[in-house]
Chains A and B, each alone.
Chain A
Amino acid sequence: MLESSEAFVGQAAAGLADAGLQRALAKAKPQFVKKRGGAVERLPEFEALRDVAAGIKDHVIAHLDYYLEAYAEAVERSGGVVHWCRDAEEARAAVLKICRDAGARTVTKGKSMVTEEIGLNDYLEGHGIEPVETDLGEYILQLRREPPSHIIGPAFHLERAEWEKSFREHHKDLSPDRVFHERRDILTEARAKLRSRFLAADVGITGANFLIAETGSSVIVTNEGNGDLTQTLPRVHVVVTGIEKVVPTIEDTLALLRVLARSATGQDMSVYTTFSTGGRRADDLDGPEEYHVVLLDNGRSGMVGTQFQEMLRCIRCAACMNHCPVYGAVGGHAYGSTYPGPMGAVLTPMLRGIEAAGHLPNASTFCGKCESVCPVKIPLPNLMRHWREREFERHLQPKAMRYGLAFWAWFAKRPGLYRLGTRAAAMGLGFLGRKRGHFDRLPFAGGWTAGRDFPAPEGDTFFAKYAAHERNK
C-alpha cells in the first residue's frame, strides 16, 4: 500500500533523476499511445461507444443503491455470499475471516488494485496467512517488496536486468549459473514457480472489473490466465472489489468491454474475459465450492451527488496515465498513492483527504489529453480543478504560493493596471534580454529557471497588439 502522496514534490524529483525509470518510460510511452491508437482505428464505432459507456455508468450511479441490492440478491441466489464493508479495516477483516474459516495457509491472488488500496497482503501476512501474487508484474514486485507503479502494468518501471537479479536472489533452489537468454526464460521460470502455488492454495483472491446485477456475476479481464487459475483451482474464491463496479446487464458489460481493452492495452479484447457466478454446481467437474464477494465502499458512496461523482465512472483502464505528460515524466511511484496519474490525482484526495494528497491535482498541465482518451469521458482536468479550489479555500498551500496568487488576483481584477504592469514587464524584460534572447535566472523565479530558460519577450503584449489592431481597422 503506497501512502506518501504528501511527498510528491520530492518523489517527482527522484523520478526525474532515476535513469532506469526514465529509460523504461521512454520505451513504454510511445507504445501505450500507439497501441491504443491502432485499436481505436480498427473500430469505427469506438467514439460512439465512449458515449454509450459513460451513459451506462451514469445510469448506474443514479441508481447505485438499487443495482447493488439487485446484485447482492443475485449473488445470494447463485449460492454466493456478499460481505458489505464500509472501509479498509472491515474488508481486511472479512477476507481474514473467510481464510480462517477455510483453514487457509496460503492464498493465491489475481491482480487487484482494491487489495492494494486496503493493504491486504501485509495484513494477511501479519495474521499468519501467506498471500502469493500470481500476475507476473505483481509477483516480482512482491519479491522486491515494491508497490505497483501503474494500475495495469505494475512493474513496467523495471528493466530486464532487475528481473533477472530478483529472480536469482529469490529462487535459491535453482542453479545460480542458469542463463536467461531472452525474456521468455524469465517468464518460464515464473510460470514453473507459480504452478505449484496455484495447486497448493486454499483460497484464491481476485478483483473484479465488473459486477453484473442481472446474474450476480463478477467479471475479470486478464492476459496471463493467472486470475482464472486463482479463481478455479482453490476450494474458496474471494472477489474483493469496489461498489462502483456494478452494472445492470450482460449487454451493458459487453459495451464497456468493447472500450476497456482497447483503451488499456490496445487489444481488441483481452485474452481471458471471465464471468464467475457462485460456487461449483452439482454437476460441475471443477471450480471452487465457495464464492464470496467483499464489497468495499471506502469513501466511494461519499462521492455520489458531489462534484466528484463522475469519477465513479472509472473502469481502471489506465489510458489517462498512459497519455499523461506528467505521469510520463515522473512515473507512478512519485504519486505516493495506490492510484497514480490523472485518475489517481482525482481519486486519492477522496481516499486519503486533500490535506495528504493536495499535490496530486496540482501535478497537471491541464493539457486535457487524459479526458480526450478516457473511455467513459470523465472530465479529469475539471475534477482536478475542483480539488485545487478546495485546497485554496482550506488554506492548505504554502504561504508564498497563497500570497503570490493573491498578488496576481489583485492585479487581474484591475484590468487597466494589469495591462500597464504586464506591458512594462514585457518591455523591461525584452530590453534586458535583447542580446541573448533568454534568461538563465530571474528574481523570484529561481525554481522555474533552474530547469529551463525563460525566453525574453519580443515586442508588445497581446492586449496592446489587439488594441492597436482594433484601432487601425
Chain B
Amino acid sequence: MSRAEILGAIRRGLRRGEVPPDQQAMLASRTAMHQRHIIPKRGQLDLAGRIDLFTYYAEREFATVARLQSYDEVPEAVTSYLAGQNIPPAIVVAPHPALQGVPFNQTPMLDIRYGVSKADDLVSLQVAFAGIAETGTLMLPSGPARPTSNNLLPDTAIVVLPAEYVVGCYEDAFDALRDAGPMPRNVMLVTGPSRSADIEQTLELGAHGPRRLHILIVDVQN
C-alpha cells in the first residue's frame, strides 16, 4: 500500500504513469551496459606504474607496504613486521587457497589459526581480490575464503595483494568481480587504517577498525 502510494506520488510529480515498456527496455539496457563515466587519468598506467601509484596512495593514507618476490616470503615478512611493531607473533589466517601453500612451518615462532577472526585476535592475514591504484584502495569481497570480520576486528590487518591484481580504477576491479561470479554479500573497499577526526577535527588512527594496515604486494610467477 505504501509502496503504491510512494510510486504514485512520484509519477504524479513526473506527470506520467508507469514508464512505458519501450522506455523500460532502454533503462534496463542502460543498466546492463555498465557504462563507465569519466575515469581519472592518474591510474591509467602499465602494471609497474600502477603498483607504484597504489603504493604511493596507500602510504599517503597511513598504510604500510612491502614488496615480496613470492608467497614463500610471506611468513618471514609477517614475523619481521610484527617484531618491528612489538606485536605478539600470533595471527588469524583467512582460509584462502592462495595462503594454503605458504610455508608457515618455516617460522615456528609464528602462532597460526585459520578461520574467522574473534574479538581478541590481534592480527589478521587476509588476501585482497584487487588493489586499485587510483587511490591505494584494497578490494575485499566476502566469501568462503574471506571472512569480513577479519578486515575489522583485529588491531592489525595484514593483507596479501598479488601484484598482478593491481588495477588502475575501481571499475576494473568491479569488472573482475563480475567475471568471478554473482555479487558477494559484502564488498569492502579499504583505503588505509581506521581513523576518526571527530575529536576537534584532529585525525587519530585506530577508531573501531584496525589501527595498522600492512600490505604485502606479492609477485607471482606463473
Contact = CB atoms under 8 A, between A and B. Distances in A.
Contacts of A78: 183
A122 interface: no
A228 B199 contact: no
A233 B194 contact: no
Given A66-B24, A254-B171, A155 B198 contact: yes
A213 interface: yes
B119 interface: yes
A159 B40 contact: no
A195 interface: yes
B103 interface: no
B106 interface: no
A347 B155 CA distance: 40
B154 to A, nearest CB: 11
B19 A66 contact: yes
B171 A65 contact: no
B147 A285 contact: yes
A430 interface: no
A63 B19 contact: yes
B158 to A, nearest CB: 16
B24 to A, nearest CB: 7
Contacts of B174: 250-251, 254
Given A224-B209, A265-B197, A285 B144 contact: yes
Q: Could you say which interface size class chain A belongs to?
A: 35 or more
A277 B183 contact: yes
Contacts of B2: 84-86, 90, 297
A194 interface: yes
B27 interface: yes
A376 to B, nearest CB: 13
Nearest to A59: B30
B156 interface: no
Interface residues of B, number: 75
A276 B189 CA distance: 12
Nearest to A141: B198
Interface stretch (A298-306, A410-418, A440-448): A298-306
Contacts of A90: 2
Contact of B194 (A66, A225, A248): A225
B10 interface: yes
A248 B208 contact: no
A183 B204 contact: yes
B45 to A, nearest CB: 15
Interface string B146-167: 0111011100000000000000
A223 B13 contact: no
A295 B202 CA distance: 34
Nearest to B118: A199
Interface string B1-22: 0110111011111110011000
Contacts, number: 255
Contact of A70 (B10, B12, B31, B40): B31
B144 A137 contact: no
Contacts of A154: 198
A91 to B, nearest CB: 10
A66 B27 contact: yes
A198 B201 CA distance: 25
Interface stretch (B66-74, B78-86, B135-143, B214-222): B135-143
A72 to B, nearest CB: 8
B9 A191 contact: no
Contacts of A24: 200
A302 B204 CA distance: 42
Report which residue of A136, A269, A271 has the largest number of chain B beta carbons within 10 angstroms of its beta carbon.
A271
Nearest to A270: B191
A88 to B, nearest CB: 13
Nearest to B60: A268
Nearest to B194: A225
A325 B169 CA distance: 36
Report which residue of A163, A186, A191 has the largest number of chain B beta carbons within 10 angstroms of its beta carbon.
A191
A84 B208 CA distance: 32
Interface stretch (A42-50, A332-340, A419-427, A453-461): A42-50
Nearest to A248: B31
Contacts of A159: 200
A65 B19 contact: yes
A269 B42 CA distance: 15
Contacts of B24: 66
Nearest to A90: B2
B195 to A, nearest CB: 5
Contact of A194 (B95, B116, B202, B208): B208
B12 to A, nearest CB: 7
A232 B116 contact: no
Contacts of B201: 27-28, 31, 153, 156
A276 B13 contact: no
A309 B12 CA distance: 13
B61 interface: yes
A232 B149 contact: yes
A301 B2 CA distance: 12
Nearest to B145: A285
Nearest to B170: A254
Given A84-B6, A303-B13, A271 B195 contact: yes
Interface string A69-100: 11010000010000011100010000000000
A64 interface: yes
B148 A286 contact: yes
B100 interface: no
Interface string B183-212: 111111111111111111110101111100
B119 A199 contact: yes
30 contacts: A44-B41, A56-B37, A65-B14, A65-B19, A84-B3, A85-B2, A136-B207, A153-B197, A153-B201, A160-B200, A163-B199, A183-B202, A188-B206, A214-B34, A217-B187, A225-B210, A229-B152, A251-B34, A252-B37, A254-B37, A257-B170, A265-B197, A272-B209, A275-B187, A276-B186, A284-B142, A285-B142, A287-B148, A297-B9, A304-B13
Given A194-B208, A285-B142, 10 more contacts: A45-B38, A64-B10, A136-B196, A195-B119, A217-B183, A249-B35, A267-B191, A270-B191, A275-B183, A285-B95
